[in-house]
Amino acid sequence: MNKLCYSLLLSTGLAFSAYAQEAPSFPGGRPQQQSTAIPGTADDTTPRGNGKISGVLVDSVSSQPVEFAAISLIEVKSNKPVDGTTTDDKGKFVITKIAPGDYKLLISFIGYKGKEIKNITIDRRTDVELGNVVLTPDIVQLKEVEVVGQAALIEEKVDRLVFNAEKDLTSKGGDATDVMRKVPMLTVDLDGNVSLRGSSNVRVLINNKPSTIIASSVGDALRQIPADMIKSVEVITSPSARYDAEGTAGIINIITKKNTLQGATLDINGGAGNRGSMLGLRGSYRAGKMGFNLSGFGRANYNQKGYSESLQQSRGATTPFSTRQFTDSRNSDLFGSYNLSWDYDINKNSSLTASIRYGTRNQLSTQGITTLRTVALTPGTSTSYRDVDVKDLSGTVDVNIDYIKTLKKPQQEVSILTQFSRNNRTNNFDADLFSDNNTLREIIGQEGNRNSSYNQESTVQVDYQTPIKKNQMFEFGGKAIMRQVLSDFSYYSSLNVPRPANELNYDQNVAASYFSYTYTTKNKYSFKIGSRYEYTTINADQGEADLNIPAYGNLVPSVNVSKTLKGGKTIKLGYNRRLQRPGIQVLNPNINAANPQNITVGNPNLAPELTDQLEAGTSWFKKSVFINTTIFARTTNNSIESIRTTDERGVITTTYGNIGQKQTYGANIFGNVTLFSKWQIGGGLDGYYVFLTNNSPDPALFAKNEGLVLSGRFFTNVTLNKGWGIQGMSFIRGRDVQLQGSQTGFAFYSLGFKKDFANKKGSLGLATENFLADAFKTRNEFVSPTFSQSSTNLLYNRGVRVTFQYKLGKMSFDAPTRRNRKSVNNDDVKGAGGGDGEGQQPAAPAAGNGGGRPR
């Protein structure tokens, strides 16, 4: 612990000295934006007084704060702006030092109708408190007193893109993977793995917090989160220095629904369909300064079948071989997630929050594998049969306690954030081996693997921010993360001598510090510059052997520049460096041989990847039309790639090494339009060209590839009279380029209907997915100098489900304005698969690897 504290102090000094001559950047996350004067209004020559105007801007539909809206103070006599500001991330605004006179306020923001507040008179020391000021999005008056509004499904904010999942009808009764498929720039493959702009090295957070269940498996974690509990999904492609350095492609932050109003309420939602059922409860209670939120969710997936065929053949080998496999699978899943949170406003300047979450996942899979093998010098074709039962069980607990104190200046703040997270996992398989005569089904032997693991981390983080004048912000902080991972594995076999048991102990400590600075000019330029330094130490051993992994330090700068133009246009330019530490799924030395023809084993000596990314973007809006375009370039060195070798029997062994290099150049365009205040239409195109190489000095392992990958999405949403709503979406991805092959494209589509009850307290819905086809077919091709492999997979995912939701209780809207909540945010570690989507190899037809994963 003393070494870790010393490393933290050392890294703080290095980060400051490395950028002592530069101006740092505004932090990532939801920016704590200061009240910045609107360029072109107030200046040093404007007469000043002691008047003050303040208030809070809220959305009329969601009752949530409206951040970054423009507030202009107009002098009635001259009808000219004399001062102004923008709302912060809590919707607050304050204009001070106002001279005596008569004024009016003009309020405007993208997607909202402008608002004018008249008859404001300032005397020598007038303090005008406007309270909550309501802005209404896209309003149409249907009757004399009936108003209907519709919030945008996709929004662009200062540092992120936001998908408002609570407006999504087709995902009701589903899980987070159903939501992710509709978010611009994201791709979710057939196994639920998420990639951003073609890279699977993304960091997924839940309410700005990491979790060890996400470290273990992103796809499994997303299936634990019900779609009905997701408020929004935020995509951050150019994180600033405040974020951890990990996650080379960017950060995905899932925001769940939580009540902050006075009173008590209980929401009940559920759904049942041909492939799954779920039930969720969410309750809240708030009185005065204290509030509680409690939620529970359970989901069962059933009727999930799969089928695959694969062919492996030697190329130029002295002992030719050919192996053909057929796999039938049946899968079932049980997921649960339970959360209790508490917050308390100690006084007007201090708040305390705490939460505990438990998540559980039970996945059972049964596979029937038939293998036909031909080897030179051996007459005929040998046939083998095996039935494999895979049991993957996981339980995760996350505990957070956070303290935030506001100091004298507006937006001057110090916070202390803590977290404890632990994931326990069991991943076992048992295989029955049958004789060549499959009709008799005579068992001739058994074998299996036992792999239990845990992944634990403790985090302490301190942040401080202070404004400098009205148009600058300075922040710095430090963080310590202590991780412990254990993977214990053993084998048994009744036919052969089993492999010896072993275990991996992997302790990783990270000390980090950062500083950042933002500066906004009068001509609407904004500069955010920053630096982060992280020092990592590792103590690892495998059995009796010490792995002797050296410590390393990384300096990661970030620069973001934006310019606001006339006509609703914005231009952005950003650069950042990110790193990706290897996770336990590529470190774990457990030999997974559930399919004996495709064996996987990790490499505990892997080093982190380093990625540099440059992006430029522009957005344009006019009335109800919004368009965003981004171009980017990304280079990754020392990337972790799969190394696949084969023996004379045709058995393929996959491990991992820091042998790759990737260069990606791409563009994204998306937009949406609202027609008649009831009908939203949107969509987008994503494309990138990728160069891949593994730089292996061994000619038998060397590989390179390049190509263009395209994907697109479309959605439409119609709000009708009497509480009816219709929504449809579709997503398609073309051929994917991989390091040593390719994967054919795939598509998803869905259609949903919803009917709200007359009192708006409940609803019924119907959602359908991929209803035009019984199954999707994908094909993987893999080619190396020594062998080739092709596989065809069928995914049966036609689905239909009925959903319901009902609300009990009553809330009041006169609650005190809530303070912005912060939390620990560990942006860590590379996921499974041995690489990005750009270089990921096709999965073997049998069960995957086990173990947890450090982040």
How many residues belong to the chain? 855
Q: In the chain, pLDDT over 70 holds for what percent of residues?
A: 78
Evaluate whether 68 touches 110 at the Cβ level (below 8 Å). Answer: no
Whole-structure pTM value: 0.69
The DSSP letter of residue 597 is T
Evaluate whether 365 touches 389 at the Cβ level (below 8 Å). Answer: yes
* Chain segment 60-111, per-residue pLDDT in tens: 766 778 877 788 888 888 887 888 887 876 788 888 888 888 899 988 776 6
Is the pLDDT at 439 greater than 70? The verdict is no
Q: Which residue has the tokens 């690892």?
A: 540
Q: What pLDDT is attached to residue 227?
A: 74
Q: How confident is the model at residue 283 (pLDDT cuts 50, 70, 90)?
A: confident
Structure tokens at 827: 């942006």
Reference 853, options 97, 386, 220, 409; nearest CA is: 220
Structure tokens at 445: 């032997």
Secondary structure (3-state) at 692: strand
The DSSP letter of residue 257 is P
Q: H/E element holding 165?
A: none
- Give the C-alpha separation, 545 to 57, whole Å: 61
* Cα angle, residue 527 at apex, residues 521 and 533 outer, rounded to 5°: 150
- Give the C-alpha separation, 591 to 424, whole Å: 19
Evaluate whether 236 touches 249 at the Cβ level (below 8 Å). Answer: no
Is the pLDDT at 191 greater than 50? The verdict is yes
Reference 784, options 741, 842, 845; nearest CA is: 741
* Cα angle, residue 171 at apex, residues 203 and 618 outer, rounded to 5°: 55
Q: What pLDDT is attached to residue 16?
A: 38
Is the pLDDT at 452 greater than 90? The verdict is yes
Bridge partner residues of 586 (DSSP) = none
Evaluate whether 514 touches 597 at the Cβ level (below 8 Å). Answer: no
Terminal CA-CA length for the chain: 19
- Give the C-alpha separation, 465 to 448, whole Å: 55
Listed in sequence order, the residues at least 6 apart from 17 whose beta carbon sits closer than 8 Å to its beta carbon are none
Which of 14-18, 175-179, 534-538, 771-775 shows the highest mean pLDDT?
534-538
Tell me, what amino acid is at 89? D
- Give the C-alpha separation, 759 to 20, whole Å: 60
Secondary structure (3-state) at 14: helix
For the segment 263-274, the average pLDDT, to the nearest whole number, is 85
- Give the C-alpha separation, 409 to 473, whole Å: 12
* Chain segment 104-142, per-residue pLDDT in tens: 998 877 667 778 898 888 887 778 888 888 887 643 333
Q: H/E element holding 627?
A: strand 625-646
More confident of the two residues 138 and 222: 222
The number of beta carbons lying within 10 Å of the beta carbon of residue 197 is 28
* Chain segment 409-421, per-residue pLDDT in tens: 877 899 999 999 9
Q: Which residue has the tokens 């605004």?
A: 93
Q: Average pLDDT, whole number, for the chain?
A: 79
The DSSP letter of residue 137 is B
